[in-house]
Amino acid sequence: MKEYEFTLKFGLTDTGADPDAYVAELAANGCEDALIGVGASGRIALDFCREAPSAYEAMRSALADVKSAIPEARLIEATPDYVGITDVADLLGFSRQNMRKLILSNPGSFPLPVHEGSSAIWHLAKVLEWLQERGRYPVDARLLELSEVAMQVNLVRERGEVNAALERGLAGLCG
């Protein structure tokens, strides 16, 4: 068994409910390996440190445990996934300037961002895969595995919001 650290953030439909009731229910339903944050009204975040045979099983079982405890909870985000330059640099022990240099000097091969604006956002798994392919940068295999699962969880969550008719017409145009 390996240990995986990740965060799941949820929106709650009953924003007036007592957060302590959620904490007790989560502990009773298998989330005793999570630090629970209930600071914002209508939101709950769980920082897990879960032992499992794989990152997929760790995150899948955590999601199942939360849904068992709070069926109406709606997933907002699984992490580690969405990152900026500074996040990647911090995770890998690089300087922000070094990450920026890598991006600017490899415009054709560096992964495209999920969002580009004053700050760009990438899927961490895509950046780690790119770094690993180059062979010059040490990439923690467990972090890569976990970020790939977190990305898939977020994509599945977002997929639930896709308009099927529009998707058919746009599928070949967006890749």
Asked if residue 70 lies in contact with residue 22, where contact means CB atoms within 8 angstroms, the answer is: yes
Residue 18 has pLDDT above 80, yes or no: no
The pLDDT tens digits for 33-61 are 999 998 778 899 999 999 999 999 999 99
80: left (phi over 0), alpha (psi -120 to 50) or beta: beta
Arithmetic mean of pLDDT, 121-147: 94
Contacts of 67 (CB under 8 A, 6+ apart): 73
The pLDDT tens digits for 56-115 are 999 999 999 999 999 999 999 999 999 999 999 999 898 999 999 999 999 999 999 999
- What domains sit in the chain, N to C, each tagged with a CATH number? 2-79 (3.30.70.380), 82-135 (1.10.10)
Q: How confident is the model at residue 162 (pLDDT cuts 50, 70, 90)?
A: confident
**In this predicted structure, what is the pLDDT of residue 16?**
75
Structure pTM? 0.91
* Sign, CA torsion 26/56/92/84: negative
**In this predicted structure, what is the pLDDT of residue 42?**
87
Segments of 13-172 assigned E as strands: 34-37, 43-52, 74-79, 82-83, 122-123
**In this predicted structure, what is the pLDDT of residue 72?**
92
Residue 17 has pLDDT above 80, yes or no: no
Asked if residue 146 lies in contact with residue 128, where contact means CB atoms within 8 angstroms, the answer is: no
**In this predicted structure, what is the pLDDT of residue 170?**
85
First to last CA, the chain: 37
CA 29 – CA 102 distance, rounded (Å): 44
Report the C-alpha dihedral over residues 111, 115, 117, 119, rounded to 10 degrees.
-70
CA 146 – CA 54 distance, rounded (Å): 8
Burial class of residue 109, CB neighbours in 10 A (0-12, 13-18, 19+): exposed
Average pLDDT, the chain: 92
**In this predicted structure, what is the pLDDT of residue 96?**
94
**In this predicted structure, what is the pLDDT of residue 38?**
85
CA 71 – CA 163 distance, rounded (Å): 24
Residue 15 has pLDDT above 80, yes or no: no
Arithmetic mean of pLDDT, 151-171: 87
